[in-house]
Amino acid sequence: MIKKKIFFIVLCINGLFASMGDELVKKALDSGLKPIPTGRELEKLTGLDGISKMQIELGKKLYFDPRISSSNLISCNTCHNLGLGGTDNIPAAIGNKWTMNPMLINSPTVYNSVFNSSQFWDGRSAHLKDQAKGPIQSSAEMNANPKIVIEKIISIPEYVIEFKKAYGNNVKIDFDLIADTIATFEKTLVTPSRYDDFLRGNTKALSKDEQEGLNIFIDKGCVACHNDINLGGTMQLLGVVKEYKFANVGGFKGNADGMVKTPTLRNILETMPYFHNGQYWDIKDAIKEMANIQLGDEISDEDSKKIAIFFESLTGKKPDILYPMLPTQTTNTPKPSF
């Protein structure tokens, strides 16, 4: 009899927890949070619908090929390391001649960047194809002349063959196509997590503590900037209520309107240090600073810890990436310059 009562009580508790979970799912969706879509819907949203595996694999080789840089030392993966959450885990990116970014800008994660409505911290690009051109040409990053990049690619017979297989025998290998092919690979770097399962109705996907953290995250107003599929990726004012504590470190002030791209919170526990100039290493401190300057909320240590626990559910499953064997250059391949 006692065992039956205990069993009944457990069922009631589980039922209550499930009901609360359903309410939280609705609350999250109503607040503008969305799961990563699946199947054909994901392919259409990312622009991968109709894209061949050959194009993706070619893009992966270009992404990992350091010869695209003027020095032959820096690849896209140098700053956006796929083994380090898609970042480099340092406050400011290190580029050409191993110099620090002059404005102390750090490298945003490349994972899930396809869901951003704006690329770069100042939002100057709207899509990955245009974004891919920037670091290649930047003197503070890969420092490469597009003309030389093209010469390098077409001087390597295996690359020419692969471009023809991917795009047809009459393909013109130009800088736009090289950047677009890199972007095609980057579009595959999507990391669904337990959080997405929860938003689709699986209330058991998040623990009780994670659900509590999500509820606080919504109630505090964090979703005003960290929303939609990527929990970020849009342009917002930084320092709405108060000035960011380290606003003068590096001198970056956003775009002409003072807007800064809101970073995605997906895999956030892997992409420290935080903020555009990498001044916070502990996510709980970053949460408190953001609540203070954006919402005017002196958030408690306890609440910041609970939100950080919710962030654990945003660590997603990474795609399996096998480092590619890059094609051999020839005597006609332009030599590196320093």
Domains along the chain?
Answer: 27-39+192-314 (1.10.760.10), 41-186 (1.10.760.10)
- What number is the average pLDDT over the span 325-337? 97
- What number is the average pLDDT over the span 207-214? 98
User: Is the per-residue pLDDT at 257 higher than 70?
Assistant: yes
- Confirm if 149 and 327 have CB atoms less than 8 A apart: no
- What number is the average pLDDT over the span 164-172? 98
Q: What is the 8-class DSSP label of residue 312?
A: G
Beta pairing, strands 259-261 & 235-237: antiparallel
Q: What percent of the chain is predicted at pLDDT more than 70?
A: 95
Residues linked to residue 119 through DSSP beta bridges, in sequence order: 125
Q: Report how far residue 257's alpha carbon sits from residue 302's, in angstroms, rounded to the nearest whole number.
A: 35
Q: Report how far residue 281's alpha carbon sits from residue 48's, in angstroms, rounded to the nearest whole number.
A: 35
**Per-residue model confidence as pLDDT tens digits over 78-101:** 999 999 999 999 999 999 999 999
- Confirm if 125 and 118 have CB atoms less than 8 A apart: yes
The per-residue pLDDT for 7 is 52
The per-residue pLDDT for 338 is 86
The per-residue pLDDT for 136 is 98
User: Is the per-residue pLDDT at 265 higher than 70?
Assistant: yes
Which of the four pLDDT bands, split at 50, 70 and 90, describes residue 19? confident
User: Is the per-residue pLDDT at 11 higher than 50?
Assistant: no
The per-residue pLDDT for 224 is 97
The per-residue pLDDT for 208 is 98
The per-residue pLDDT for 4 is 54
- What number is the average pLDDT over the span 322-334? 97
What would the DSSP string read from start to end of 195-251? HHHHHTT-GGGS-HHHHHHHHHHHHTTGGGTS-BTTT--SEEES-SSS--TTTTSS-
The per-residue pLDDT for 6 is 52
- Confirm if 171 and 164 have CB atoms less than 8 A apart: yes
pTM reported for the whole predicted model: 0.93
User: Is the per-residue pLDDT at 21 higher than 60?
Assistant: yes
Q: Is 210 labeled as catalytic in the residue annotation?
A: no
Of 262, 19, 6, 219, which is closest to residue 120 (Cα–Cα)? 262
- What number is the average pLDDT over the span 25-44? 98
Which of the four pLDDT bands, split at 50, 70 and 90, describes residue 10? very low
Q: Of 23, 43, 141, 151, which one is the catalytic site residue?
A: 141
Which of the four pLDDT bands, split at 50, 70 and 90, describes residue 234? very high
- Confirm if 229 and 35 have CB atoms less than 8 A apart: yes
- What number is the average pLDDT over the span 152-158? 98
User: Is the per-residue pLDDT at 12 higher than 90?
Assistant: no
The per-residue pLDDT for 3 is 55
User: Is the per-residue pLDDT at 156 higher than 90?
Assistant: yes
- What number is the average pLDDT over the span 294-311? 97
User: What distance separates the 2 farthest-apart alpha carbons in the chain?
Assistant: 86
- Confirm if 300 and 116 have CB atoms less than 8 A apart: no
Q: For all residues of the chain together, what is the average pLDDT?
A: 95
The per-residue pLDDT for 5 is 53
User: Is the per-residue pLDDT at 298 higher than 70?
Assistant: yes
User: Is the per-residue pLDDT at 13 higher than 80?
Assistant: no
